[in-house]
């Protein structure tokens, strides 16, 4: 099959979940004998033409000058280019800024990963929420098959007539990491908890910071606090001696070392779907304390702990399990990733889905 992957910023991954998925599964599709192209922004920091056999097509991205409007233009240019090529499958990752162009999607060959419930995210409140609900409907109508990354998302999507299959994200198992690397970055190596994520209300960052403040537990808060909301939180909590703000960390080995050596990974994601950061923490064997919602609960499968409020999280931080229990939980988390969220399994599930409609 000739497969095109649209809707992400492209590969190699320097951005997020969709990009990580594309980087992991597309080479596996190539090894299985398929021809694969990933559409990538023109301003990607690495100007590769091919990665592990995967063709990379760079498309002009005016986002830096036009902001959000630039993302709409990038998505339009991607689909117009893809329509000129003889692809058997077009995998559309998300619909936030591409759904408006769904009338151009070749329905008989389009598979859409519907991501989370975007219209429920706090960052899309106001007039954006109705637009995203409309965009979701358009994407569902113009696709041959929908992909949900979480069983709860699949249940939600049953309201559409378009067939839907559930295919999760994946993560790697990280066995060993170097504490010296953390020391070299001025980061704690023990007796700390960790939060990594976008600094936005629906990720419950405020609750996590407040819980650290109240419990006195050392928190490493990794993320971009230069946004309007981030600056507000930073101003409020920067004086807390037990909260470390290292900013955004892009080096994967440093991030994995933090996950590997933390006493608990605090996960506040709440708005839909299987979150890649949660899987990556589990792949590192971290003990997870996650916001209580059906999406996180289904991924954890009974592991770790679930909290509904900053008071509950504060109590959990004041009563963390001993090291032996943390290690046992970490081993079970890695086994769960190995069994249910490994990239070869996910790559094969996508191919099976493609073959079913091709």
- Residue 273 pLDDT more than 90? no
Rounded Cα distance, 142 and 159, in Å: 15
Residue 110 structure tokens: 């389009």
The CATH number given to 179-340 is 3.40.50.2000
Give the max Cα distance, the chain. Answer: 59
- Residue 267 pLDDT more than 80? yes
Domain boundaries along the sequence of the chain? 2-170+342-357, 179-340
Compute CA distances 19 → 15, 43, 58, 114, 309, whole Å: 6, 15, 14, 15, 31
The CATH number given to 2-170+342-357 is 3.40.50.2000
CA proximity to 219, closest of 123, 297, 316, 122: 316
Q: Do domains 2-170+342-357 and 179-340 have the same CATH topology?
A: yes
Per-residue pLDDT tens digits for 65-100? 898 889 999 999 999 999 999 999 999 999 988 999
Q: What is the pLDDT of residue 176?
A: 78
| Under 8 Å between Cβ of 332 and 303 | yes
Q: What is the pTM of this model?
A: 0.87
Rounded Cα distance, 235 and 214, in Å: 17
Per-residue pLDDT tens digits for 311-342? 999 999 999 999 999 999 999 999 999 999 99
Per-residue pLDDT tens digits for 221-247? 999 999 999 999 999 999 999 999 999
Per-residue pLDDT tens digits for 96-114? 889 999 999 999 999 999 9
């Amino acid at each position: 099959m000739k497969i095109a992957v649209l809707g992400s910023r492209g590969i190699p991954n320097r951005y997020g979940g969709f990009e990580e998925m594309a980087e992991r599964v597309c080479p596996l599709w190539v090894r299985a004998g398929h021809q694969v192209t990933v559409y990538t922004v023109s301003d990607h920091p690495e100007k590769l033409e091919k990665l592990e056999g995967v063709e990379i097509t760079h498309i002009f991205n005016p986002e830096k000058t036009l902001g959000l409007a630039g993302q709409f233009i990038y998505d339009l240019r991607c689909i117009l280019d893809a329509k000129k090529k003889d692809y058997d499958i077009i995998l559309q990752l998300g619909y936030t800024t591409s759904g408006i162009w769904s009338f151009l999607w070749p329905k008989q060959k389009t598979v859409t990963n519907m991501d989370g419930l975007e219209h429920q995210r706090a960052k899309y409140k106001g007039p954006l929420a109705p637009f995203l609900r409309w965009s979701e409907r358009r994407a569902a109508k113009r696709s041959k098959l929908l992909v949900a990354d979480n069983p709860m998302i699949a249940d939600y999507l049953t309201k559409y007539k378009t067939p839907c299959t559930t295919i999760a994200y994946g993560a790697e198992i990280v066995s060993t990491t170097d504490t010296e690397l953390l020391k070299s970055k001025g980061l704690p190596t023990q007796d700390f908890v960790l939060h990594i994520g976008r600094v936005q209300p629906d990720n419950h960052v405020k609750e996590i910071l407040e819980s650290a403040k109240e419990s006195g537990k050392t928190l490493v808060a990794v993320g971009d606090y230069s946004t309007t909301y981030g600056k507000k939180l930073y101003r409020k909590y920067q004086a807390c001696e037990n909260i470390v703000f290292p900013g955004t960390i892009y080096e994967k080995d440093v991030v994995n070392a933090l996950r590997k050596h933390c006493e608990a990974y605090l996960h506040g994601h709440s708005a839909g779907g299987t979150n890649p950061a949660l899987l990556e923490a589990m792949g590192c064997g971290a003990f997870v304390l996650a916001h209580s919602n059906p999406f996180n609960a289904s991924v954890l499968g009974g592991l770790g702990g679930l909290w509904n409020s900053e008071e509950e999280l504060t109590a959990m931080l004041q009563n963390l399990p001993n090291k032996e229990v943390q290690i046992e939980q970490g081993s079970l988390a890695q086994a769960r990733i190995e069994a249910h969220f490994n990239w070869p399994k996910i790559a094969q599930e996508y191919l099976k889905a493609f073959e079913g409609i091709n």
